[in-house]
Amino acid sequence: MIEIPAGEFVRGADHHDGDDGRRTANVEAFFIDEHEVTNAEYAEVVETHTFREGAAGHPVTHVTFDEAKSYCEQRKARLPTGDEWEKAARGTDGRLYPWGNTLGRRKPHPFYSGVVKKSAGSNRRDVSPYGVHDMAGSVWEWTDAGDDTLRETRGGLWNLHLDFEYSKTFHRNRLPADSRFIFLGFRCARSAD
């Protein structure tokens, strides 16, 4: 896990549907996984989890909010809050993408809709100022934000939006907690105290 220091950061966007506006937010120090939980890591805790050959290092997907939350708790961790996830992705300067403000020239993944073709942490460009990987060009990730009916996801959706334009650090999506998709995974966090 990577430590994210306490303090302020720029949150949200000026003109983005569903966002409550650009503002300064503050979070306590916390730790977050360097990359999404992989199939192999998930299978170490959830013995019934199976995956195709060669996909051990790929992000685990088809996991509901409660399953992701349970996995994190078994690791003595938790899902990150929406603000924690966003600070880990964009740093303190309000960058649009984890690497800065310029749109990536290459697609985040090859055009193989429905099948992740890269291992977690393998995109050398998709790295936040803190060293957190795959926050824009991989799978959506569950966070602990939301309510009883809809939970917030963050991150890049390689399966539908094969372009970084739709993977900005402030983008939020809300899904029913029982959603289970090929493009939906998670990472864990832990308070620093």
pLDDT digits (tens, 9 = 90+) for 24-51: 788 999 999 999 999 999 999 999 999 9
Distance CA 162, CA 117 (A): 13
Please answer whether residues 143 and 151 qualify as being in contact, where contact means their C-beta atoms are separated by less than 8 angstroms: yes
Query: What is the DSSP pairing of strand 173-176 with strand 150-154?
Result: antiparallel
Q: Domain 1-193: which topology?
A: paralog of FGE (formylglycine-generating enzyme) (3.90.1580)
Q: Using 50, 70 and 90 to split pLDDT, how confident is the model at 188?
A: very high
Average pLDDT, the chain: 83
> What are 61-117's pLDDT values in tens digits?
999 999 999 999 999 999 999 999 999 999 888 888 888 777 666 555 444 444 555
Delimit the domains of the chain by residue range: 1-193
Predicted pLDDT of residue 111: 43
E strands in the chain: 2-4, 7-11, 23-27, 30-32, 140-146, 150-154, 173-176, 184-185, 189-191
Judged by average pLDDT, the poorest of 86-90, 143-147, 156-160, 184-188 is: 156-160
Distance CA 140, CA 98 (A): 15
Distance CA 24, CA 57 (A): 36
Mean pLDDT score, 176-187: 92
Distance CA 84, CA 3 (A): 11
Distance CA 141, CA 157 (A): 9
Q: Using 50, 70 and 90 to split pLDDT, how confident is the model at 166?
A: low
Predicted pLDDT of residue 50: 93
Q: Which amino acid does the sequence have at 33?
A: D
